Each structure stands twice: as C-alpha cells, then as structure tokens.
Amino acid sequence: MSAQEERQEKPAKEPRGLLSSWRFIGVLFVGILVYAYAWQSTEIDLRRLVVDAPDIVHIVTQIVQPDVLTRDKEYQEVLTNFQLPCTDSPPEQMAASESEPYLVLSHTCGAPGEPLSVEGFNLRPNTRGTVRWIPPEGTTRSLAHFDSDGEGHFVEGISIPSVVESEELHQIQTELRWEVGLPYPSETARVVFDKMLETIMLALMATTLGVFVAVPLSFLAARNLMSVSRGTMVIYFVIRGIFNIVRSIEPLIWAVVFAVWVGIGPFAGVLALGMHSIAALGKLYSEQVESIDTGPIEAVTATGANVLQTIIYAVVPQIVPPYLAFTIYRWDINVRMSTIIGMVGGGGVGFLLIQWVNLLRYKQAGVAVWAITVVVWVMDFVSGVVREKIV
Amino acid sequence: MLEVENLTKIYDGGTVAVKDLSFTVKDGEFLVIIGLSGSGKSTLLRCINRLIEPTEGRIIWDGVDITQLSGEELRKVRRHIGMIFQQFNLVKRSSVLTNVLSGRLGYVNPWRSAIGRFPKEDVEQALGCLDRVGILDQAYKRADELSGGQQQRVGIARALMQEPTLILADEPVASLDPATSHSILRYIEDLNRDEGVTVLCSLHFLSLARAYASRIIALKDGEMVFEGLPAEIDDARFKEIYGEEAIQVEIR
C-alpha cells in the first residue's frame, strides 16, 4: 500500500471550532484567576524595586569593596582643654611651638550650640583626621573630618555639642590616621579562608560518605541485576523508594535535623549533605549499572575467564569512569551546597556569611561572598575538565 | 572433532530456539551456518561454549562432553574456543591492547590479572596478534575510537590470543560493509587454512557462505533444513531455507 492511499483512509477531523474555542476561553479564565491570586499572595510590589533601590546600593558598594587586605595604621593625637560653661578663669590655649603639633581654639570656653573654630599646626601633612569631643563623663563624639595641608595645618569650624555642663574640663581631640607598610590579608580574610577550607573539606567528607554507601546500594537498586527473583525485586523497590524519598528532602532540611541531633557545626553539615549524596549518587550509579553493555561480559566469559576476571575486565571499565564523573560532579554540588548549609547550623563559610549579614557588616560579608563565588567557579571548572577527561 | 547430538534449547518463555539438532564437524572444516534471523544460529553457537545452557542433548569435542563440564574444567575448554561476535563485544572504554589481552585471561594467574598485570610474553603476543590483523598502530587507542572493521579485527586478535583450535563466529560481518566483510572473513579463512583451526561461522548472506564455506548447514525455526556442500544449494533449496519470497542478494 502506498503512503498516499494510507493517508486517504484516515478519517477526516471533525470540525470542533466552537468546542475548542469555549475550552480556550475557560482555560484563559482559569489562568487569569490563578495568576491574579499568585500576584497578590506573593506581594509583588514593583514600586519598591525603584523606591528602595538606594538601600541596596549602600550594601552592594560595601560588598564590592570587601575587607580582604589591610595595612598597619599609625595615629597622631593632640588634646586641648575646653571649659563648659564659662567661668572667670577659662583654660589657656596650648603653647605654640616650632615643631611640636598643637591646637588653637577660637575661644576656650562656651556654651552648647555656639560655633567654635579649631586650628591645628605642625600636624602630619596631607593626612585625614577627625575632631572629637571628649566630655569628662559620657561618650566621646566625632564632630568633623578634615585633611591637613602640606604644612600640617588645618582649620575646621564646629559647633559645640549639647553635652552635660560640668566643672571639670572637657577635651577636644584631633586624631590623624594613616596606613604604613605593605598590605596583608585582613583578619576577615583569614577567618574566611579557614572556614572556606572547612567548607571544602565538609563537601569532601559528605561526598565520601555518599560514595561509600551508594556504591554497594547501587547494585541493589539496578533493575537488570535485581530482576532475578521476586525477593530481589522487593529489595530493588525498597531501595529505590528510599533513594527517592531521601533525595526529595532538601539538604537544608537534613541540616536542620542533624544540627538538632549532633549539634550545630560542620559534622551536621557532613551528615546532611552525605545523606542527600547517598540518594543522588545511588540513583545515578544504579542507572549506570542498568545501562551496562552485556556484550563484553559475554566475550570475556567466552575466553575462559573466571567470574572475578570477568567483573574486572568487562564490568569495571564500563562503570568506573561514569561513577568517577558523577562523584566529582557531586563534590562540586556539595561544595556549592555547603556554602549555604552553614546558615542553618551546618558549619562552613555560610555560618560566617549569615552572621555578618545579620550584624550589617557588609564589608566582611563581601569577603565571604567573593570567596564562595571564586571557589564555586573553580570547582565547576575543574570538575568539568576532569569529567571530560574521564568519560 | 565436534559432535552435536540431539541439541535442544528451550528458553524460559517457552521459545524453542534449537530443536533436536545433530551434526558433526571434522577438524579443519570451515562450517557455515545460514538461516534467517531468529532461526537459532546464535543459540547454537552459544550452546557450544556454554554461554547458553542447552536444555537437552550432548556436545562432544575431542571426546569430552562439554555439556557435563562445570567450573574450572569448563573454563579450561572455553579458553581453546575463540569467539567472534556480530557487535564485536569489545570493552569500549578500554584500550585495544587490553581488549586483546583479555583473550589470555583463561591462561594467566587470576590474581595478577586482577591488578591488570600480564606476563611480558603475553603483551608481546598481543602486539603480534594486532600486527597480524594489520592494526598494530592502533594498540594504545581506546577501542571505541576504531572503525567497525578495525574493531572486528580487534575481536579476531582477542580470539587469536586464546590459541584456539575452534573458532565460533556469530555473524562476524553483519555490522560491516561488503568490502570490509570480505577482509574480515579472509582473516578467518587464513586461520582455518594455515593453522587448521576449525571454524563454525554463522552468516546471513548465501553468497558469502558460498565463497568461504567448506560445508554449509541451514537452520529454519531451530531445525536443520539443509546440510551439504555450498554448490548443492540451488534455487529450490534457497527458497526452502529463506522462504518463498526471498530474493538472493549478491555480495561480491
């Protein structure tokens, strides 16, 4: 029979324009309802994206200037006295000097709110400094920032802060700060490095745990091996079922469970990621066993090889490279997961990150964010290259 | 001499693949088994080295009943029977050399071979076998980098490593083009003629069977429908074997 004849025999389609258009309108109506509800329940508010943008700019600028490197700092402090309120005998100005730094005030006594000019001489040239008010009791206040000129001179007008009046003298301080020496890794960078190492090791241990449990289980979860009898099929379904249930629970939830069980820390993270790895690797491994080519097994058996030799020469070469590839991929995933698992008590760099974010220390948080980005990128790249080599 | 007596194979599902077959193969023969797909050729060949367990019957090779052997004895017999497959059955990810060396597994110390060590003589012999089938320069490539014809030559080299006195070839050229088919069959023919290796080879094409066989048996639905010399298959015989509607296709 030719193709043409065959085509003619097919019954012509009934015209259902009306029915399908009614159906289309119904689907459209339901779709609109669903999306309207979704829009409302997810509290979408596009206005805020624009209005609140300045908030995030502040955070982002700090994150892009992470506290990675630091230099040693030196200070120059000069103090002079001020009386508040005025009495008959206000304190004297500092003695002028040829080389020693000193401050001159426009007046040495006054009341809160009055303007006051502070002038400095013989300070460190071209350096940034701060004017502070140190009351005899209570906290010091920063009043102004200034930059000394090429001769170490500055003039800065301030207004006397509303501090508690007292008989004892107040002090006005200038502090100049500058950096010396070569930059070196900051305390933050060192802590992040330590925790990043812990994160990678955490992922390594979790992957190892996953491999050791998943390899033997993968054979029990391979249909082609387990279809021998009814009993083995029961084992197959049980293990497959466990894999599916364990895999469907997110590592973050496992981390919460294990943090309660063994306490907050990297061990909880190892168990959480390990648990998920067992299920994920077990499934991938067993699928690899299922797709094994039986031809080589037949051929090697036919040469008079024993069972052990047949496994080593015909089965192992077929499953080891994909097993390795899956394992490296899993480690890669585990490194990525372990960077956030710390947020729920699973140890690693995520713990630092969430801590700094909560303390609004975004420069430090920035270091953690950058470290995670770099490590994840490197792992991704390395695992890709290695996998390509193996398979 | 290989004697097949009343061989029957019934699979678990009840399919009768081979029904009460009896024939004898003299040493040094090139016996070709022809028949349609599913006529029982593969099952017959696999029963001889017990890759498939026969349901009934005996297979006697040089006075030993292969069907009665087990374990070590069976492996000792198998190592003298080389086998070549339609799909080559190489370990694709392993090197060509390793694939060839695996033909030696029945002879070597199992523990040494388990860690991938083969005696130096075996490695030299393997390279020699590759040289003989003309692909010595491919020895260190991965098996799946080779073309189909080259892969089948690796299959032959693997069988050669066994120093076989009998070769079972299951549709050795069915996955290859006509020109390559002839070159592969010629290697097998050389082995048969120069070293006196007995060959049992199943083939689809009658023209190939006529060109290489010293004797032909034909199977249809697991039963023998012809046994004799290549020249004895005329049109009537052909239709008997392949069915009324078949047309002869020549492969030159």
Residue A180's φ and ψ, nearest 5 degrees, are -130, 160
pLDDT value at position A3? 41
ipTM: 0.90
B151 and A CB contact within 8 Å: no
Q: How confident is the model at residue A315 (pLDDT cuts 50, 70, 90)?
A: confident
CB A132 within 8 A of CB A75: no
Same domain (yes/no): A233, A364: yes
Mean pLDDT is lowest, of A168-177, A341-350, B19-28, for A341-350
Given a cut of 60, whether residue A5 has pLDDT beyond it is no
pLDDT value at position A17? 65
CB A254 within 8 A of CB A272: yes
CA B242 to chain A, closest CA, distance in angstroms equals 24
pLDDT (mean) for A12-33 = 79
Same domain (yes/no): A101, A230: no
Chain A residues whose CB is inside 8 A of the B114 CB are: 308-309, 312
Rounded distance between C-alpha atoms, residue B53 and residue A267, angstroms: 53
Strand order in the sheet with B223-228: B81-84, B166-170, B198-203, B30-34, B215-220, B223-228
pLDDT value at position B83? 94
Domain interval for residue A377: 187-390
pLDDT value at position A11? 53
Q: How confident is the model at residue A350 (pLDDT cuts 50, 70, 90)?
A: confident
Residue A170 forms part of a structural domain: yes
Note whether B89 contacts A296, CB cutoff 8 Å.
yes
Substitution target in B91, B158, B160 with the highest count of A β-carbons within 10 Å is B91
> Sign of the CA dihedral A28, A34, A37, A41?
negative
> Per-residue pLDDT tens for B70-122?
888 899 999 999 999 999 999 988 899 999 999 999 888 888 887 878 888 99
Given a cut of 90, whether residue B175 has pLDDT beyond it is no
| Domain termination residue (choose one: A143, A163, A185) | A185
Given a cut of 90, whether residue A391 has pLDDT beyond it is no
pLDDT value at position A1? 37
Note whether B90 contacts A308, CB cutoff 8 Å.
no
Rounded distance between C-alpha atoms, residue B129 and residue B97, angstroms: 10
| Domain termination residue (choose one: A185, A207, A233) | A185
Task: Find, among B176, B222, B170, B177, the residue nearest to B199 by Cα.
Answer: B170
Note whether A299 contacts B85, CB cutoff 8 Å.
yes
Give the per-residue SS3 of B38-76: CCCHHHHHHHHCCCCCCCEEEEEECCEEHHHCCHHHHHH
Given a cut of 50, whether residue A128 has pLDDT beyond it is yes
Same domain (yes/no): A136, A280: no
Residue A83 forms part of a structural domain: yes
Q: How many domains does chain A have?
A: 2
CA B248 to chain A, closest CA, distance in angstroms equals 24
Given a cut of 60, whether residue A50 has pLDDT beyond it is yes
Straight-line distance from the first to the last Cα atom of chain B, in angstroms, rounded to the nearest whole number: 32
Chain B residues whose CB is inside 8 A of the A302 CB are: 49, 51, 78, 81, 83, 168
| Domain termination residue (choose one: A165, A185, A205) | A185
Length reported for chain B: 252
Please report, for the domain that includes residue A315, its CATH number. Answer: 1.10.3720.10
A299 and B CB contact within 8 Å: yes
Residue A12 forms part of a structural domain: no
Note whether A302 contacts B81, CB cutoff 8 Å.
yes
pLDDT value at position A210? 94
Note whether B105 contacts A305, CB cutoff 8 Å.
yes
Task: Find, among B190, B195, B215, the residue nearest to B203 by Cα.
Answer: B215
Same domain (yes/no): A83, A216: no
Q: What percent of chain B has pLDDT over 90?
A: 34
Chain A residues whose CB is inside 8 A of the B158 CB are: 299, 303
Please report, for the domain that includes residue A155, its CATH number. Answer: 2.60.40
Residue A118 forms part of a structural domain: yes
Chain A residues whose CB is inside 8 A of the B129 CB are: none
Could you tell me which chain A residue has the CA closest to the CA of B164? Answer: A303
Nearest Cβ partner for B162 among A303, A308, A321: A303
Residue B226's φ and ψ, nearest 5 degrees, are -160, 145
Chain A residues whose CB is inside 8 A of the B82 CB are: 303
Residue A35 forms part of a structural domain: no
pLDDT value at position B46? 92
Note whether B93 contacts A301, CB cutoff 8 Å.
no
pLDDT (mean) for B139-149 = 90
Could you tell me which chain B residue has the CA closest to the CA of A301? Answer: B51
Note whether B94 contacts A299, CB cutoff 8 Å.
no
Chain B residues whose CB is inside 8 A of the A315 CB are: none
Same domain (yes/no): A165, A195: no
Could you tell me which chain B residue has the CA closest to the CA of A312? Answer: B114
> Per-residue pLDDT tens for B17-32?
888 889 999 998 999 9
Nearest Cβ partner for B78 among A302, A317, A321: A302
Same domain (yes/no): A279, A383: yes
Same domain (yes/no): A361, A308: yes
Cross-strand bridge partners of residue B16: B10
Residue A16 forms part of a structural domain: no
Given a cut of 70, whether residue A7 has pLDDT beyond it is no
Given a cut of 80, whether residue B235 has pLDDT beyond it is no
Greater model confidence, A273 or B249: A273
A20 and B CB contact within 8 Å: no
CA B232 to chain A, closest CA, distance in angstroms equals 33
Same domain (yes/no): A164, A310: no
B 163-202 → A contacts, CB under 8 A: 168
Nearest Cβ partner for B78 among A295, A304, A314: A304
Substitution target in B52, B93, B168 with the highest count of A β-carbons within 10 Å is B93
Residue A42 forms part of a structural domain: no
Mean pLDDT, chain A, as a whole number?
A: 86
Same domain (yes/no): A292, A198: yes
Residue A10 forms part of a structural domain: no
Same domain (yes/no): A218, A180: no
Same domain (yes/no): A120, A227: no
Same domain (yes/no): A93, A161: yes
Given a cut of 90, whether residue A64 has pLDDT beyond it is no
pLDDT (mean) for A118-126 = 91
Rounded distance between C-alpha atoms, residue B104 and residue B123, angstroms: 10
**Angle, CA A356 vertex, CA A352 and CA A357 arms, to 5°:** 115
pLDDT value at position B252? 58
Q: How confident is the model at residue A283 (pLDDT cuts 50, 70, 90)?
A: very high
Token pair for B55: 């349901």
Going from the N-terminus, what domains does chain B have, and what CATH number goes with each?
1-80+164-171+197-252 (3.40.50.300), 87-163 (no CATH)
Chain A residues whose CB is inside 8 A of the B113 CB are: 309, 312-313
